[in-house]
A and B are shown apart, each in its own frame.
Chain A
Amino acid sequence: MRTSPEHKLSKSAIKAWRLSTAIACLFFILVPLFFWIYNTFSPNEMGFSTWVIVSISVVLLIVSGLIIFFLPEIRWQHWYYQVDEHEVDLQSGIFIITRTLIPVKRVQHVDTRQGPILRSYGLADVTISTAATTHRIPALDEETADIVRDRISKFARLAKEDV
């Protein structure tokens, strides 16, 4: 394979992703919560033992701790992107490595997006749409995102004027 694209995402992407994964992991709490509610409202003999609930909670806590700590970092390490006048080159994926090339002249529009979490870390996603597909470069610095967006749009315009 050709060498990976040269740029990496912003380092603070890791922190932002940790936060968003942590929020996603909050849903794990629902599982023991469900058991607990079931226990309190069901007739006595039918309930689950406290043991089960505690051990499930512990396992879930450990798992989500690992996910929150390691996954964003690994994901960050595997993300590369590069934009030049001919193409947008993306590489991502931990197990399944996906390499995507978008000819710049195919780009229909580019936009940057920011949720509350990304904003608090000064980050933004760049979304690139063609007539058939949509691609995302996640979590770039705000300034970088702006530059990347403008660059792609400029190259796309140039390519069209060329022809």
Chain B
Amino acid sequence: MFDAQRQHPVAALANAFDIIKANFITILILIFVGSGGKQGDYTLYWIFGTFIALLIWGGISWLRFRFSVNEGELKIEQGVFVHKKLYLTSDRIQVIDITAGVIQRVFGLVAVEVKTAGSSSKEAKINAISRKEAEKLKKLLRQGSEQQTATVSGEEKANKTYTLDNRDLVIAATTSGRMGVALSVVGAVFSQLDQVVSDEQILRFIETHLPNFTSFSIVAISVVGMVLAAWVLSFVSTIITYYDFEVEVREDDLHISKGLFERKQLTIPFNRIQAVQVKEGILRQPFGYAALVIESAGYGEDQGNSSTLFPLISKQRLRTFIDEVIPEYHVPVDKRVQISKKGLRRYLLRMVWLSLIIIAVVWSMVPYGVYSWLILPLMLLLGYQQYRDAEVKSGEDTIILSWRLLKKTTAIIKKYRVQAVEIKQNPFQTRLDLSDLIVHVASGNQGRSFKVRELLEKQAATYKHWLSNGNNELQQPLETDSYEEDSPSAIE
């Protein structure tokens, strides 16, 4: 038994940091905007004051937070203004995650997150307790359910683990496609730069240090500089996220742990996996590397429940990896359909329109924007590659959709996991007998959809029919567990 008790006092600090982390971008913007005025001197006081306020808030919520375990039932009381009581019975609990963020690590503590199939999983988070207590709590909560015996026997066998070694981590970071996010951050910082440095200072700097440069090369240099800064940012963030990445294959679930400062651990039961995606980024494809992502249902994670199964894997190893970790997703292909010549036209045209818009914007707003015309051939090349990469394959009970926006994505979907199929046609497509095929699977609360453009209408219709008409299939025993997705009791 676990009597009602508070967390470790460090929870107050952890609570405060949780709030900061959740609103990090807002805070960053506020600081930038706030420091713009003449009273820039007060910024520090502001930051300091806010932090104190958050600490007080964290302290109060620590005071209000009590948890106890009674006969396999976890009870959590919390709430600063609104008092909340949460009861979780152990057989409803799916996943108990023990993580350690920076703060917890400093004090040698851990955070425990209890997740059920339903939503609102964020509520059941105990922010700071000692590792011993956490293990005790986990044991108590696992006792009631049979899962305990299953995992114990599973753990006795040597579980296969796959790790990402440092060399691969560096490659992953170098080629990570996170440039987009990073670029916007860098852009935001650059746009605020004139508040710190005045124009005259910049001019003087240019005159003294770069006397021979024309304004063209300065524009070019700043573009290159921004891209470089974005790259460094994405490099660092990838290293932080995927440091010491490890996948452990257990009897009926996958256990993933990762992270440099904050160790994250996820447990994904096999029967929750809805689809597998192979993502080949533009920078990775030439070197034959890809990332593996799985969609899972009923597991409370942000962003529609995509979780990285492996951040970087070479194409040769990919096949054996899938064979060993998720063997049911390795299926011989007996039918494949590619995009017809008619479709190529529309792939290219879309790129032409897109680049014309970009060129128009850049040309009118940026000095030397004329050079943006250079992107037109690049975009056409991309369009052609999109056309080449798009295809639909099928075999047995599986459909495999491939398409490319920038990175090439291949989604492997079991037929019995498909929630709905859609065919879309706009008037131009109708004229050419083309249509888009969209397949929906469950993932998180909203589900996720996969789309292949410009298939021949007949082929799309065939696939649509094949996918939705599953009654004459052999896979019926498998289908049972997919039905019970929403009832939490389905987990043995």
Contacts and interface: CB of A to CB of B under 8 A. Distances in A.
Interface of A: 1-2, 86-87, 95-103, 105-106, 108, 130-133, 135, 159-160, 162-163
Contact of A98 (B424, B442, B465, B469): B424
Contacts of A132: 419-420, 440-443, 446-449
Q: Is the interface of A mostly helix, strand, loop or mixed?
A: mixed
Contact of A100 (B421, B457, B480): B421
A108 B476 CA distance: 18
A102 B443 contact: no
21 contacts: A1-B423, A1-B461, A2-B465, A86-B471, A96-B424, A96-B426, A98-B422, A99-B424, A99-B425, A99-B464, A100-B423, A101-B464, A103-B418, A130-B419, A131-B419, A131-B486, A132-B419, A132-B420, A133-B419, A162-B471, A163-B479
Contacts of B421: 100-102
Interface residues of B, number: 37
A131 B485 contact: yes
Contacts of A99: 422-425, 464
Contact of B486 (A95, A103, A108, A162): A108
Contact of A131 (B297, B427, B435, B480): B297
B489 interface: no
A159 to B, nearest CB: 7
Contacts of A100: 420-423
Given A86-B471, A132-B443, A101 B457 contact: no
A2 B421 CA distance: 14
B468 interface: yes
A3 B442 CA distance: 29
B421 to A, nearest CB: 5
Contacts of B420: 100-103, 106, 130, 132-133, 135
Interface in B390-446: 418-427, 430, 435, 440-443, 446
B482 to A, nearest CB: 9
Given A100-B421, A101-B420, A101-B465, 13 more contacts: A95-B426, A98-B424, A99-B464, A101-B422, A105-B470, A106-B418, A131-B419, A131-B447, A131-B486, A132-B419, A132-B449, A162-B476, A163-B480
